[in-house]
Amino acid sequence: MALSVGIVGLPNVGKSTVFNALTSGKAEAANYPFCTIDPNVGIVPVPDDRLARIEKHIKTQKVIPAIVEIVDIAGLVAGASQGEGLGNKFLANIRETNAILMMVRCFDDPNVIHVAGSVDPMRDIDVIDLELALADLETAEKRVKKAQGAAKTGSKEGKVELAFAERVYNHLQAGKAARSLALSDDERKQVTGFGLLTAKPVLYCCNVGEADLPRGNAWSDAVRARAQVEGSGVVILCGKVEAELAELAPGDRAELLASYGLTEPALATLARECYRLLGLQSYFTAGEKEIRAWTVRKGALGPEAAGVIHTDFEKGFIRAQVYSIADLEQHGSEAAIKAAGKMRMEGKEYVVQDGDVMHFLFNV
């Protein structure tokens, strides 16, 4: 599955600086370069040291990490929900992403004028939330009207659909994000069909000054407190530092990172936080041609994981051969794992675990 995250923010918060840093750095693996696939879409690898651990024991032609698609959404202004600025384009682009990375300015710089005249991350978040909520309210209102038509026929399903649509609408009208609405699993699937922007999980990206790394400042502390209440994620970074790091080869980054009290670029933290926020994990395939990380939701069964590689694998799934990286490190090879009786055969009901190494047997 392709993980897509949209960066949103007001003008002059450092959004494009961070996007360019994330999507134009030197490649971590020679076989998987950072790249930009559109003027505003970049693909970046998810750092995962487990790939190198597998490669120590299985020689391969290339190593391919999991990826995150980063979408630089057109800058938002107040009134976007009514088509102001690039409002309609903004809303259309963000609708297609899995999560929202909300870039928030938490630095003061007299040379970079804030669109509202002063630095206030909480106000900025409220402006963005309001525009998303107004767009959602319009969407929900259309769903209510559609459901009213179905309910007039007297069908039980139509009445249930209307009650649910009205519940979502009333929640939004109260100024609350759709993601804070208590839903059952079935209702969560149902609300996904609404295409609501405020239903998407949010990762706040606090852009701080160099002097405030790595901990952040009072502004980012306020954002962190808000995120904890919402169940959202937070990443602290400095756009200027990330831009500097992007220009360096991986082997030359350690000294610069250490000077700011950091152990890795913000990309690594960002990618992991996106995975946590969306309930995702990685499993691996390994062989002579490639060692590769695949993204799958937590709780996925064997056939679904196979389908991430190809839909035919899911349709014709028979069973999966599964072992852990710990097994590989203990025994040294897949042959030795089999000889030790550690290679497991798992069927259609197997719940895939984070870090599994898998080979699928299928029939099409």
Burial 54-70 (b: 16+ CB within 10 A, else e): beebbebeebbbbbbbb
328-353 residue pLDDT tens? 999 999 999 999 999 999 999 999 99
Question: Rounded to 5 degrees, what angle do the CA atoms 1, 8, 129 make?
Answer: 105
Mean pLDDT of the 125-150 span? 88
Burial label for 37, CB within 10 Å (0-12, 13-18, 19+), is exposed
Average pLDDT value over all residues in the chain = 87
Global pTM value: 0.83
Name the packing angle between helices 239-246 and 15-23 (round to 10°). Answer: 20
Give SS3 for 239. helix
Sequence ranges of the domains in the chain: 3-118+200-278, 128-198, 299-362
CB neighbours (10 Å) of residue 239? Answer: 25
306-328 residue pLDDT tens? 999 999 999 999 999 999 999 99
What local confidence, expressed as pLDDT, does residue 90 receive? 61
Phi/psi for 328 (5° steps) reads -65, -40
Q: Could you tell me the CATH superfamily of domain 299-362?
A: Beta-grasp domain (3.10.20.30)
Strand blocks (E) in the chain? 3-8, 35-38, 41-45, 62-64, 67-72, 99-106, 202-208, 233-237, 280-286, 290-297, 317-323, 344-346, 357-362
Architecture of the structural domain at 128-198:
Orthogonal Bundle (1.10)
Check pLDDT > 60 for residue 99. yes
Question: Rounded to 5 degrees, what angle do the CA atoms 126, 202, 18 make?
Answer: 90
Report which of residues 295 and 133 the model is more confident about.
295
Closest residue by Cα to residue 74 from 97, 105, 44: 97
Domain 128-198 and domain 299-362, same fold? Reply is: no
Pairwise CA distance, residues 335 & 213, whole Å = 47
Fold for 3-118+200-278, please state it.
Answer: Rossmann fold (3.40.50)
Q: Which helix (H) or strand (E) holds 4?
A: strand 3-8
What local confidence, expressed as pLDDT, does residue 2 receive? 67
Pairwise CA distance, residues 92 & 55, whole Å = 41
Q: What is the chain's length?
A: 364
81 — pLDDT class (breaks 50, 70, 90)? low
How far CA 281 is from CA of 64, 100, 293, in Å, comes to: 15, 19, 10
Mean pLDDT of the 226-237 span? 93
What local confidence, expressed as pLDDT, does residue 157 receive? 86
198-220 residue pLDDT tens? 999 999 999 999 999 999 999 99
Chain centre distance of CA 295: 11
Pairwise CA distance, residues 227 & 69, whole Å = 23
What local confidence, expressed as pLDDT, does residue 144 receive? 93
Give SS3 for 115. coil
CB neighbours (10 Å) of residue 154? Answer: 8
Question: Do 348 and 361 form a contact (C-beta atoms < 8 A)?
Answer: no
